[in-house]
Amino acid sequence: MNTSKSSELFAEAQKHIPGGVNSPVRAFRSVGRDPLYIASAKGSKIYDVDGNEFIDYIGSWGPMIHGHANERIINAIKDAAENSTSFGASSEKEIVLAQLVKKFVPAIEMIRMVNSGTEATMSAMRLARGFTGREKIIKFEGCYHGHGDSFLSKAGSGVATLGLPDSPGVTRSTAADTLNAKFNDIASVEVLIEQHPGSIAAVFIEPVAGNMGCVMAGKAFLQKLRDLCTAEGIVLIFDEVMSGFRVARGGAQELYGINADLTTFGKIIGGGLPVGAYGGRRDIMQLIAPSGPVYQAGTLSGNPLAMTAGIETLLAIDEDPDFYRTLGDACEYLYDGFRSNLADLKLDYTLNTCGSMFTLFFSSEAVTDFDSAKTSNTAKFAAYFNHMLENGIYLPPSQFEACFVSTAHTREDVDETVVANRISLEFL
């Protein structure tokens, strides 16, 4: 496979952009090759500048649930752009998207639009502190909530991929207010609450983690966490930037039947455009300025193009009562093919799946938390990644990222992927 033009572009990029990339995992360092530069994408396929075609299982890290360049969404964005790309003022589309999110996730009583998942989690943290009058937060090892200072502690994803410790630039006082618990271990949460009585403002969790690979919280664990937060007056915050509208119509909260006090969103609600949001209980959300004293603002929040893309993305789901059944059937066909390959080749690697999210871990252990995720053989993953790429399959260039399936993936795409999976595993 010729990728010379991508390599030339990467060499040039490194003269002007730190590391040559605008987000660390794009550097492809953990898989030992130069990154690909993408020229276009359509449906389930992505095309690089050298003319190579790949079946894409990144989907812009989750939002492309309808596939790339969906005509309905693209046409709506074009129409919206004719009326300007930004107003810096209110528009009706903000209300429409807010209503749609509330329809899909009944626990959301009010919602505020922002521009990224990082903005959403940072804002939700400030709001929880303002609501409780407390300062400390609990997060879980391996869960990634964006690059806000308070969250860059044992943060999975790109931090784990690059082997970085807690980031320089985060002050000791900020780091001291973040406490790390162990995913799927309620006792670790109880210990932190006992050690810091009356001081915990919020617990943040990805109920379906995507940033240590795809790892589900256990239902019993999540229910105990909900009960504990209620009893202690702690704001429970679900980070559903990845899982929202992807693992189920109502996200992880529908999947588990457990509601959070606040929820952060991104990805799908922008249809691939930069977006984020946070919402939840009315009594908490009404503390946000201008209705309350907790300040948060953004010139591009509620951007009309992002709102348009999000509206059309969710409407296309809402109008199809069989949407998640159809998507689920395609996913199970893919997962069954992977499992069959592993069984035939007598390999004991671990395949974690949840809805249209999945990760193949190169570990024989059940992967239920960050420690077990880190038992994966990353050298084998890197070799597997490169073999899959050579066979036309575009996967996340990190063992610690989830893959995503879209409705644009055809039976033929999946068959080709399963064959590539077998060939790649045989080479290891």
Which residues are catalytic, by number? 144, 239, 267
Q: Which residues pair with 16 in a beta bridge?
A: none
Going along 13-172, which residue ranges are E strands? Answer: 38-42, 45-48, 53-56, 110-114, 136-140
Cα separation values, 140 from 184, 211, 307, 328, Å: 9, 11, 31, 28
Instruction: Please tell me the distance from the alpha carbon of residue 305 to that of residue 84, in angstroms, as a whole number.
Output: 9
Instruction: Provide φ and ψ at 410, rounded to 5°.
Output: -85, 170
Instruction: Please tell me the distance from the alpha carbon of residue 52 to that of residue 39, in angstroms, as a whole number.
Output: 10
Q: Which residues pair with 119 in a beta bridge?
A: none
Q: Quickly list DSSP for 227-273.
A: HHHHHHTPEEEEE-TTTTTTTSTTHHHHHHT---SEEEE-GGGGTTS
Angle, helix 304-318 to helix 92-104, in steps of 10 degrees:
40
Tokens of 398: 């990190």
Q: Is residue 368 within 8 Å of 377, Cβ to Cβ? A: no
CA dihedral sign of residues 156, 157, 158, 162: positive
Instruction: Please tell me the distance from the alpha carbon of residue 101 to that of residue 250, in angstroms, as a whole number.
Output: 9
Cα separation values, 320 from 352, 365, 410, Å: 27, 38, 18
